[in-house]
Amino acid sequence: MNIVIGSGLSAISAYKKHNCDLMIGKGIIGGTASSTNNKKFLFDKGIHVLNTIPENGIGCNCNNYKRKAKIINKIGEIIDYPYQKNNTDNPINETPKNYLDYIIKRFGDKDARDFHVPYNDKFWKYPLHKMSADWANTKYVPKKNINGSYGTNDNFWYPSKGYIGNIAEKRYNSLNLQHNHDNVVAFDIKDKTIITNNNKYKYNKCYSSIPLNRINIDWGCCKKYIKRLKHTTIACFNFSIHNNNIKKSFEGLHWIYFCSKEIPFIRISFPSNYGGKTLKGYTTIQCEISINPYDKLKNYHDYAQIMKDIGIFKKIPTFISSEIINIAYCIPTLTVNEDVKKITQYLNKYDIFPIGRYGKWKNLWMHEVMNI
């Protein structure tokens, strides 16, 4: 039988596309694009908005928003997003050697120093000169659009039900698929068998959205490629505040980016300003912090205090919940393309086909992993 592993958007889509007989997936439906409910407020795992609605639809009702995003730069000024809207944006004529080289060539020394380098250091927590620049033109603040706006999410969509997990739930419910909510613990590749906590399954073809570096398999000659895969971890702290306590210049914003080392957040979003579920009269707030395994997180109260000190709120917001996204962004290292190619070839020999953001080890958007 054909088996798909995972409960996220890629697994749900692959189930139908590859005529699978069984889905084995642990966790909440929607995976990384799911939402957690505490009755009054709903929070996604980090900012999650749809950059596009494909022609044949997304299977769930969405509202369209014109992005309202700001940056707080190194000296605390509030400026429009993206940064180069206000400053330099040079065409790149020669291939950059690495991501740091790309940043300097494209934005110039001053903007690199004042925003792009500190922001990217904080976001990736990985040496920028050891990252490739292949992806940067499209994924890191893309070029000006024909209409003069910037970026893929200049206009974006969000489910009218008030949480991103609604997309996966709708798709999942429409398929009536066979789903074992089980955890895959290993593969016996010689025997083409999937071993879970509760069972063993022989497969003909297996489509796996398990992160490549979490697949428990005899990796043979591929061990070194697996070891070279790097990723970020993101901690999300969720708060709410009464609308009367938001300072005027921050009212109605969708999200804000921060580059200063003194401010722990990479970004703060206001999900209820783009349709996220909330209590009447209250705005929801989510702080995202990129962390290393050896980083010590502060207490949620400290983060709330920092937001007040920056001058966003008149009062300290109320803490609601927190969440860690262990594997959040796949780091585009200098060797990532070669590593993923070798790993994929090895898995394909045993009829395992990696899918999705963490199977392809590429920072794909939701509409890309759904492949519609």
Pairing of strands 318-325, 233-242: antiparallel
CB 361 within 8 Å of CB 209: no
3 binds ligand FAD (CB under 6 A): no
Q: Which of 3, 4, 5, 62 binds ligand FAD (CB under 6 A)?
A: 5
103 binds ligand FAD (CB under 6 A): no
User: Which range in 41-49, 60-68, 123-131, 336-344 contacts ligand FAD by CB under 6 A?
Assistant: 41-49
> CA 116 → CA 110, 198, 370, distances in Å?
9, 48, 31
CB 195 within 8 Å of CB 187: yes
**Residue found by looking up tokens 């199977």 in the block:** 359
CA 316 to CA 310: how far, in whole Å?
A: 11
- Residue 274, CB half-sphere, CA atoms under 13 Å: how many? 29
Q: Which of 4, 48, 171, 201 binds ligand FAD (CB under 6 A)?
A: 48
357 binds ligand FAD (CB under 6 A): yes
11 binds ligand FAD (CB under 6 A): yes
Least distance CB 315 / ligand FAD (angstroms): 27
Closest CA to 336 of 126, 159, 134: 134
Pairing of strands 233-242, 69-72: unpaired
343 binds ligand FAD (CB under 6 A): no
Helix (H, G, I), strand (E, B) or coil at 351: coil
Least distance CB 201 / ligand FAD (angstroms): 12
184 binds ligand FAD (CB under 6 A): yes
CA 287 to CA 202: how far, in whole Å?
A: 43
CA 166 to CA 28: how far, in whole Å?
A: 12
Residue type, 271: P
User: Which range in 15-23, 43-51, 88-96, 265-273 contacts ligand FAD by CB under 6 A?
Assistant: 43-51
Q: For ligand FAD, what does the binding mask look like between residues 229 and 248, x meaning CB under 6 A?
A: -----x--------------
CA 303 to CA 15: how far, in whole Å?
A: 41
Q: Which of 9, 42, 287, 330 binds ligand FAD (CB under 6 A)?
A: 9
Residues within window 277-296 making contact with ligand FAD, judged by CB under 6 A? none
Cβ distance to ligand FAD smaller for residue 10 or 284: 10
Helix (H, G, I), strand (E, B) or coil at 203: coil
23 binds ligand FAD (CB under 6 A): no
- The site for ligand FAD, by CB under 6 A, has a size of 37
Least distance CB 91 / ligand FAD (angstroms): 27
Burial class (CB in 10 A: 0-12, 13-18, 19+), 298: middle
Q: Which of 26, 85, 228, 342 binds ligand FAD (CB under 6 A)?
A: 26
List residues binding ligand FAD (CB under 6 A): 5-11, 24-27, 31-33, 45-51, 183-184, 209-210, 214, 234, 325, 328, 356-358, 364-367, 369
